[in-house]
């Protein structure tokens, strides 16, 4: 099992996986009642053929399961991946209930994503979404300080509301939610993971979810090197060469 830190306090952990490149090959070959035990050049050519021709069903016989700890703004974007994907929060409720569960029962201290002073980005110049260059450090320092004050104020009001006897599920209205970390399990087919990567490694995806997509790629690529090579846009896969330093075994 492996683990990669992302952002200031988040992470991605590979919990489990089913299959290898061979699972894709054998799922395709079952129609001829054939099975490979060792991956050969012929098998790799078959993976290339399947990906190129859009025969995607064999890629859905391999599965990956991750634990993710990310700010809510990232989680909301992730949640949009519904085909071949299941999202569960810690207690096993479906994602639709994740927000309720995490703060209704107050299972842990609220934790927030706080960009460092050199991590605040400008508005994009030629696009309505995304971001541009990093802002001047003095502006960044002011924004980081102001965000800390804002979070502190929200936390104090949240605690006061709890102290006044209100239920936790309403007290959480005082929490600055976009940057609040949430934890969940994501179980997805290899095809679905690659679909996520093709969209979220792109430059037009929000920088924070790009960082998580890089971690997902780093953890997945060693397990399915050929299939991922073929299913992911070539430029994106090459850009993200596995950085061993960022992977640590649990």
Q: Does 111 bind ligand FAD (CB under 6 A)?
A: no
Q: Which residues inside 204-223 make contact with ligand FAD, applying CB under 6 A?
A: 204-205
DSSP per-residue codes, 85-138:
EEEEETTS-BGGGHHHHHHHTT-S---B----TT--BPPPSS-SSS--SBPPHH
Q: How far is the CB of 149 from ligand FAD (least distance, A)?
A: 29
Of 98, 97, 137, residue with least CA distance to 115: 137
Of 91, 106, 111, residue with least CA distance to 184: 91
As a residue count, the chain comes to 250
Contacts of 218 (CB under 8 A, 6+ apart): 4, 240, 242, 243, 246, 247
DSSP per-residue codes, 107-122:
-S---B----TT--BP
- Which of residues 26 and 187 has its CB atom nearest to ligand FAD in the complex? 187
Q: Spot the catalytic one: 42, 52, 200, 234.
A: 200
- Which listed range, 7-15, 78-86, 89-97, 224-232, lies at the site for ligand FAD (CB under 6 A)? 78-86
Q: Does 82 bind ligand FAD (CB under 6 A)?
A: yes
Residue 200 falls in the annotated catalytic set = yes
Q: Does 80 bind ligand FAD (CB under 6 A)?
A: yes
Q: How far is the CB of 82 from ligand FAD (least distance, A)?
A: 4
Q: Does 193 bind ligand FAD (CB under 6 A)?
A: no
- Which of residues 22 and 188 has its CB atom nearest to ligand FAD in the complex? 188
- Chain residues binding ligand FAD by CB under 6 A are 80-83, 85, 195, 199, 204-205
- Supply the residues annotated as catalytic: 200
């Amino acid at each position: 099992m492996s683990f990669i830190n992302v952002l200031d306090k988040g992470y991605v952990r590979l919990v489990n996986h089913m299959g290898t490149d061979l699972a894709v090959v054998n799922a395709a070959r079952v129609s001829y009642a054939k099975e490979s035990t060792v991956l050969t050049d012929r098998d790799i050519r078959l993976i290339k053929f399947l990906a190129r021709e859009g025969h995607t069903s064999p890629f859905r016989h391999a599965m990956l399961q991750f634990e993710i700890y990310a700010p809510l703004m990232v989680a909301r974007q992730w949640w949009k991946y519904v085909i071949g994907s299941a999202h569960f929060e810690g207690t096993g409720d479906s994602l639709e209930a994740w927000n309720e569960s995490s703060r209704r029962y107050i299972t842990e201290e609220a934790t927030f994503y706080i960009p460092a002073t050199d991590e605040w980005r400008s508005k994009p110049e030629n696009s309505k979404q995304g971001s541009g260059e990093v802002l001047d450090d003095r502006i960044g320092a002011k924004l980081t300080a102001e965000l800390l004050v804002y979070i502190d104020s929200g936390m104090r009001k949240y605690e006061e509301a709890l102290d006044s006897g209100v239920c936790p599920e309403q007290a959480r209205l005082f929490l600055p939610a976009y940057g609040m970390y949430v934890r969940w399990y994501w179980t997805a087919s290899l095809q679905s993971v690659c679909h996520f990567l093709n969209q979220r490694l792109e430059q037009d995806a929000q920088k924070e979810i790009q960082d998580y997509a890089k971690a997902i790629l780093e953890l997945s690529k060693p397990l399915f090197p050929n299939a991922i090579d073929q299913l992911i846009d070539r430029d994106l896969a090459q850009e993200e060469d596995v950085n061993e330093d960022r992977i640590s075994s649990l």
